[in-house]
Structure 1
Amino acid sequence: MASSDEPQSLRAVFEAAEDKRQEVNEAPSATSPKYAEDLAAALKLYTQALDQIAALSLFSANEGVEDVATSSLPYLLVDFYLAELVQRTPHLAPKERLQVLARARASYERFLSAVDGYGLVTGSYGKLLERYRDDEEAFVAVAGDMAAKREGKIANFKAEKALREKLETLKRNPRYLEHGDEELVRKVHLTSIQFAVHNTFQALDSLNRELPLLRSAPSPTAAPKASGNDPTDTSFRLDQPLSQLRPGTGGPLLSTKGKPLQPFTLVGSRADLAKGVFRPGHNLPTMSIDEYLEEERRRGGIIEGGGTEPPKQEVDEDDMEAVDRETYKARKWDDFTDDNRKGSGNTLNMG
């Protein structure tokens, strides 16, 4: 049976890691140096906590969740928190990002394996785990045609909302806040694990969608050679000499007999060039707006009349961004209809 008397050092390391994770979550920008420092510190602390958990043998495959001490339950989440933070590592080239995603996947899998060993992956999540183990890289949280995916994403959203509300309700209970009731504290920890299981499958889905994009990304091109100290090397200059801007190789344009030796462009007289010095830097209009509209009307570019509503455009089920937009739109409408009874906004004729 897992001991509840873990060393203070493990509790201290875990709490410090949680504090750093909170700072990362509340960071205003992922591009700031502080974000990178807090992220690195949190990853280091969670890794230390994992080492101490393994050294203490807090968890065993031969016991059930009822055998785990309440104070030890939060440590089951260390791999999940580690995976989340690893996946949020910013500013990486595709090759480095692939390595980061591999690390995140390994941590998510360790978390799922640990909590599944205690029978905490149940119901629909158990089926998701079976599908994931069948084909890890082809796993998606919601499968099927476009309609099934839409319904599945709405169901996922509602499940996540229900778990979050349940967790917040438990934590607001005075028995939890003021008295630290053992039964209620244990229920909070188990609900947190359920919430993490839900988020793990969503994260693995997102990870699998990112992988093909990274693998198909072009490799970075070789950096251009430096000009060095050669004073004759002007390849780095934007204002190249006119002789190099001409399509030929330099030299005279015409032979002694008047035969062209290289391509050239006639640009007019010096007087014409002088007139163009003070012209506007933009092209002036060649016709008025009315003339333009009349010309467009003549060419058939203006459609007049009509008034019928255009047909509703079908969403391409292979366009995941469009499908997600439709899904979030449907979620928002479902939430609105849940919170607002039909006709509740009509204040007329209510007597």
Structure 2
Amino acid sequence: MSTNLPLPQFYSQTLESLQPIFDDTLSLSDASTQSILLSALDNLYLIQRMIHSLGIFSENESADEVGERELVFMSLGWVIGSSEEKGGLNGRDHRIETLQRSETAYNTYLELLDSYQVLTPEEQADSAAMAGGTSSTPKDPAKKREAKIRQYKREKDLREKISGSLKDHPETSSSPITFLLSLLPSFSKSSSNSKSSNTSTSRPSVISTNTGSTSVNNGEDNEETSRHSILLILRLLHTLTLSSLSSIYMEMELLSSAPASITSIAERDRDPREIKREEGETIDNTWKLDRQPSNYKPRELISGGGKVLRPFTILPSTQQMSDRERLKGDVFKQSWRLPTMTIDEYLQEEQRRGNIITGGGQASYDAPTESELLELAAENDGSTLAEQKAEQKRLKEENWANFTDDNKKGAGNTMNKG
């Protein structure tokens, strides 16, 4: 890259090229995206070497002793780690090397924040737990869930505080790259082209043309950006770093159990007839047997300690697709009879058949009788409804009296006279 930009603008230019990748606008599987990522990583490592040669950060300083212009460059370790984590898609070995570089960058960022005492005591404890090379996430499922919820709340709270403190920040985006770009001078391609046409320098300038000092100059003083906002962004990147490191450790563990080279295995398992056909040789198909790999070894499926190296299914020696599908259906199914209806449908059917008794119990005992309801309604004097209920009550009592007069007590017990 041919440029004569100051270091802050060069950093801003590199972040702008990475912003579509971090916003998931570009697909990581595209070759063009990986090319942009590699070019940005070259620039980031160049900035890292320049910062190291300038001696901007020292172990004997605290965060209060670092200027706001230099404080922004503490985020460089996180940017390198995140960019490395998005690459390495050319096989297992390449991915492992990329994850190792990402882990190194993340740990460097954590050490820098710890050295300058930027973090809170709780965040320092999380960094100390991650420093051992293992995930700080608890093994217990309940504690693991609580830790994730606590980390999510912390990240959300920091994003809201940062969005409120940065007045020039767009409300529609809460990406860390967007936060960092709001702290750096904006990069103009037109001005960059005009500058590069007048110079042959191939490295960004780190000397301020206004002051003549060797300290990092951001080109334009942003008076609205406060130290508090920068520290909040660094703490947010710390939370994202812990989450990324946990993912890296889990992925490294999975990759360590994966085959050494998927490509080599695919070439090894190819049918020799296909190889001959590609080479133009004539194949006699009169007699042919199913291919049996001569280099088949049981340890390729199961290790010496009994650990499964890759998934496999035991099937009979047959090439009939119908049998394979039938056996597959017999294997991947429940070993018990499944119900044909839900519990609610079952209860509705039983109620329709009359097998469910409703009513009764204490609630039915405490409910008022018909006579009590009529008596209560008749007590509302002066209303037509009360008069009607009183008349119903009188007729009921009269009918009951007539019934008791006509039917003496015990008159119906003619079969059992004692």
TM-score bracket for this pair, using the shorter chain length: 0.5 to 0.7
Query: 1:98 matched to which residue of 2?
Result: 96
**Would the alpha carbon gap of residues 303 and 20 (structure 1) be closer, same or farther in structure 2, given more than 3 Å must change?**
closer
From 20, 25, 31, the counterpart of 2:22: 25
Q: How does 1:47-66 map to 2 (within 5 A)?
A: 47-66=45-64
1:159 aligns with 2:161: no
TM-score, normalised with respect to structure 1:
0.61
In the alignment, the residues of structure 1 paired with residue 278 and residue 110 of structure 2 have an alpha-carbon distance, to the nearest angstrom, of: 59
In the alignment, the residues of structure 2 paired with residue 12 and residue 41 of structure 1 have an alpha-carbon distance, to the nearest angstrom, of: 16
**Would the alpha carbon gap of residues 96 and 230 (structure 1) be closer, same or farther in structure 2, given more than 3 Å must change?**
closer
Query: 2:130 matched to which residue of 1?
Result: 132
Query: 2:287 matched to which residue of 1?
Result: 243
Q: CA deviation at 1:182?
A: 4.2
**Would the alpha carbon gap of residues 117 and 245 (structure 1) be closer, same or farther in structure 2, given more than 3 Å must change?**
closer
**Would the alpha carbon gap of residues 13 and 230 (structure 1) be closer, same or farther in structure 2, given more than 3 Å must change?**
closer
TM-score, normalised with respect to structure 2:
0.52
Query: 1:11 matched to which residue of 2?
Result: 8
% identical aligned pairs = 21
1:204-262 superposed Cα distances (whole Å, 9 cap, x missing partner): 1111111111000022335257438865453xxxxx72432599xxxxxxxxxxxxxxx
Q: CA deviation at 1:302?
A: 6.6
1:110-136 superposed Cα distances (whole Å, 9 cap, x missing partner): 111111111013221111122123x21
1:227 aligns with 2:276: yes
Flag as ranges the 4+ runs of structure 1 deviating above 6 A. none
Query: 2:234 matched to which residue of 1?
Result: 193
Q: For the pair shown, which has the larger CA radius of gyration, 1 or 2?
A: 2
Q: 1:16 touches 1:45 (CA, 8 Å); kept in 2?
A: no
Alignment length (residue pairs): 243
From 208, 229, 249, the counterpart of 1:208: 249
Moved more, 214-223 or 204-213: 214-223
1:74-94 superposed Cα distances (whole Å, 9 cap, x missing partner): 111111100000001052311
Query: 1:46 matched to which residue of 2?
Result: 44
Write the letter of the residue equivalent to 1:189: I
In the alignment, the residues of structure 2 paired with residue 185 and residue 246 of structure 1 have an alpha-carbon distance, to the nearest angstrom, of: 73
In the alignment, the residues of structure 2 paired with residue 77 and residue 196 of structure 1 have an alpha-carbon distance, to the nearest angstrom, of: 8
Unaligned runs of at least 5 residues, structure 1 = 1-6, 235-239, 248-281, 283-299, 310-351
Unaligned runs of at least 5 residues, structure 2 = 170-181, 184-219, 292-321, 323-335, 346-418
Q: 2:21 touches 2:27 (CA, 8 Å); kept in 1?
A: no
Match of 2:113, SS state, is helix
1:109-168 superposed Cα distances (whole Å, 9 cap, x missing partner): 1111111111013221111122123x21x223x215211111111111111111111111
In the alignment, the residues of structure 2 paired with residue 31 and residue 132 of structure 1 have an alpha-carbon distance, to the nearest angstrom, of: 30
CA RMSD of aligned residues (A): 3.2
1:274-301 superposed Cα distances (whole Å, 9 cap, x missing partner): xxxxxxxx9xxxxxxxxxxxxxxxxx95
From 140, 146, 150, the counterpart of 2:145: 150
